[in-house]
Amino acid sequence: MTNHHPNMDPTAAIHAAIPEPEYQISTLANGLTVATFPMPWLHEVGVTILVRGGSRYELEKHTGVAHFLEHMLFRGTERMPNPTQLHTHLEAMAADMNAATGHEVNAYWMTLPLEQLPQGMHAFCEMITQPAFTGIDSERGVILAEMREDENDRGEMVNALNLASEQLWPNHPLARPILGFRESVTKIATDDLWDYLRRLYRGGNMATAFFGPIQHAEAQALAETHLGKLPNGSIPLSP
């Protein structure tokens, strides 16, 4: 039987058992921010890579390219150009990976066992630094199907966020749907993906954060190894 002090705040008891992580932040020479949130009681490590990007920073004729790029980065790397090979490699490490695109950010995240972190980080960052960009037309079909989920049976837009954005920010990039328009998505080419990647995926425009049983020095070394060669600097607020 467990005894509890009658005046003990349950929340305080939890905080006493699991302290708040003492985070650290540093910056690589190319401007990339590295943050760590040590949580030694966990059994796996989480890594997030954030890019100040998203639909706000697209050229109007390339509306949807930020989200398109997010999809394409999961389709293989120069070392593993076959997407099945890439995902089999990640699954063998028990790595769970996903991504999301918003109006102002591209986010990629991965969790995996600590002992798999070095090779997992290698594959994770290769997706961003050395993408293969294979199968663009197949992925285009996936995105066009995803766009139909925002429409009713008559093909009318019913996504509340898109409708609200049109009213809140007329004639502004924030008014455009994150997935893009059919007219723009059908025209996006590999060169457009490369243009967006090279323009925004730069050290000063990105951050990576680690949580779990990892120290800041180890995280910074991994970030330096796999992301330290990204171009210097950031970008202006508009394309």
- Radius of gyration over every alpha carbon of the chain, rounded to an integer in angstroms: 21
- Give Cα separations from 57 to 2, 50, 103, 183, 196 (angstroms): 56, 14, 8, 18, 9
Q: Which of these, 66, 62, 72, lies nearest to 136 by C-alpha position?
A: 72
Q: Which helix (H) or strand (E) holds 48?
A: strand 44-51
Looking from the CA of 209 toward its CB, the CA atoms found within 13 Å total: 11
**Residue 70 is among the residues annotated as catalytic for this protein:** yes
Instruction: Judge contact between 47 and 110, C-beta under 8 A.
Output: yes
Which of 20, 22, 60, 70 does the annotation list as catalytic?
Answer: 70
Would you call 144 helix, strand, or coil by DSSP?
helix
Q: Which residues are catalytic?
A: 70
